[in-house]
Amino acid sequence: MRTLRARSTLLLAAAAWTIWVWATRIWNILGDPANDAAFKAVHSLLALVSIAFAVALGVVGLRMRREAREEARGIETARRAG
């Protein structure tokens, strides 16, 4: 159970970091007048794909966290009953 929670934390942290980095990066790219439209389009697409992967990681991490919590409740219920 402990490793499941640690892994979920790692996935959630990776997802949050990726979203923060790409959101900040795309904000800077779009705001820079030195970049042409093609550059902005390509990097916007890269940002969207990366953020989509990060959201998927976040969903997996949240599901793992929920599973660890349910497992901990099951162990605690078994201790009380037994």
Q: Count of domains in the chain?
A: 1
DSSP state of 35: S
Range of the domain at 21: 2-81
The pLDDT of 11-31, averaged and rounded, is: 97
Q: What is the model's pLDDT at position 82? A: 62
Q: Measure the CA–CA gap between 15 and 59, rounded to whole angstroms.
A: 9
* pLDDT at 14 > cutoff 80: yes
Q: Measure the CA–CA gap between 60 and 21, rounded to whole angstroms.
A: 20
Q: Residue 10: in which H helix or E strand, if any?
A: helix 2-31
Q: What is the model's pLDDT at position 61? A: 96
Dump pLDDT digits (tens) for 41-67.
999 999 999 999 999 999 999 999 999
Across 57-78, b (16+ Cβ under 10 Å) vs e yields bbeebeebbeebeeeeeeeeee
Dump pLDDT digits (tens) for 29-39.
999 999 999 99
Report which residue type is found at 32.
D
Q: What is the model's pLDDT at position 64? A: 94
